[in-house]
Structure 1
Amino acid sequence: MIVVLLGLQVLAPESTLALRYDRAAILDGALWRLLTGQLVHLNWAHCLLNAAGWLVCAALLPDLFARRWFWLEVMIIAAGVGLGLLWLDPQLAYYAGLSGVIYGVLIRGALPSAGRDWRMAVLLLLVVGRLAWQLWVGTDAAQATMIGGAIIVHAHVYGAVMGALLSCCRPALRQ
């Protein structure tokens, strides 16, 4: 994943323009943008923050990354983020970034064992607390400036919801 993110960033801005979530293009049939928009970024800082987030996920949830169905789950989370943006945020024209998927992976990894592993319970509380903060207090203007655009909190929410749904409703994917 890191290689893909960095490789696409090297090819920016062309890769970003060609692959980002673009509502008009999606409605015109470019459905792949529901997924590929999460692989491209607004600038290098944005890309490196998401790459670091991915590494944190891998470090905290190595068992999740080792599962047979992990990449399918990542695609399901990504599709959920893209479709959530399409259906529930009609005013959003463009989106780029992996953060929604990262939130989904964190929830997917932490939720099933939060009741028996205090570390996963703390992780779950931190992720949900961060989401709540972003929703009620807002996002950090300095971070938005650093990444070159608005932070789309709803993408984080849709990713988290997808991670929770996979945790609760997809027992076949738990192995």
Structure 2
Amino acid sequence: MLHTRESTTLPGKYLNTCFIAIMGTALLPLLQFFHDQLYYQRHLIEASEIWRLWTGSLVHTNHWHLALNLAGTWLLVFIAPSTDSKPMQLLQIVWLATCVGLGLWLLSPGVIWYVGFSSILYGLFMLAGIRLLFQKDWLMAALILLGIGGKTLWDWQQGGISPSAELIDAPVIYAAHLYGMSGGILLGIASLFQKQLKP
């Protein structure tokens, strides 16, 4: 009886844990067909195409760009799987996309256009790293937080020009990564307070 119960609950648990990666793998390639209608473009946002503040993070410059972000999403699933519900994971993505879009709009007026899921992904990595800190998984938390922070610092020092920039045919917009990371840190802090408030 116990074996039967576990066999029916494990697939659901696995799908919940891998939800973002599965959704991204299914949805992001399809959104490439609507790239021109979705990417972040400042003058088009000024012309009332407000949705681009959010959808810019869901399209990519080329197939290498898309593949790198999907690989990073699956890596996150395997090293720090989320235990949040599917609706909560969707809300996290919307929050991070909002942080990136508004951050670029309000704080980086020099960024004329932007695409890529990496800014959201950086935020998800930061959220995972903070959770692992509170779970006292010091090594994995340090690898994630220092790895993502170090990569962003390196991109900044290189002025956005790096081997990955050549691969994706565009400079790395490290400001967008910073906004995504900031959103992830805020999510991590909010998660901590929520746990403290629970009886």
**Counterpart contact for 1:23–1:86, Cα < 8 Å:** yes
**Which 5+ residue runs of structure 2 have no aligned equivalent?**
1-23
Q: RMSD over aligned Cα, in angstroms?
A: 2.2
Classify 1:117/1:156 alpha carbon distance in 2 versus 1 (closer, same or farther; 3 Å).
Answer: same
For 2:31, the equivalent position in structure 1 comes to 8
Matched, 1:47 2:66: yes
Matched, 1:117 2:137: yes
The one of the two structures with greater contact order (alpha-carbon pairs below 8 A, sep at least 6) is 1
**Counterpart contact for 1:16–1:96, Cα < 8 Å:** no
For 1:107, the equivalent position in structure 2 comes to 126
Amino acid at match of 2:51: W
Higher helix share: 2
What is the deviation of 1:112? 2.7
Give aligned pairs, total.
171
Task: Please report the TM-score for the alignment, with normalisation by the length of structure 2.
Answer: 0.78
C-alpha distance after superposition, 1:132-171 (max 9, x if no partner): 2222344443321210111101111110000001111354
**Counterpart contact for 2:119–2:180, Cα < 8 Å:** yes
C-alpha distance after superposition, 1:48-90 (max 9, x if no partner): 1111111112222213455651110111011100111111111
Q: Which has the larger radius of gyration?
A: 2
**Which 5+ residue runs of structure 1 have no aligned equivalent?**
none
- Pairs within 5 Å for 1:11-30: 11=33, 15-30=34-49
Task: Please report the TM-score for the alignment, with normalisation by the length of structure 1.
Answer: 0.88
- Pairs within 5 Å for 1:59-138: 59-64=78-83, 66=85, 68-115=87-134, 116-118=136-138, 119-138=140-159
Identify the range of structure 1 (61-70 vs 129-138) with the bigger mean alpha-carbon deviation: 61-70
What is the rounded CA distance, in whole Å, between the counterparts of 2:178 and 2:88 in structure 1?
Answer: 22
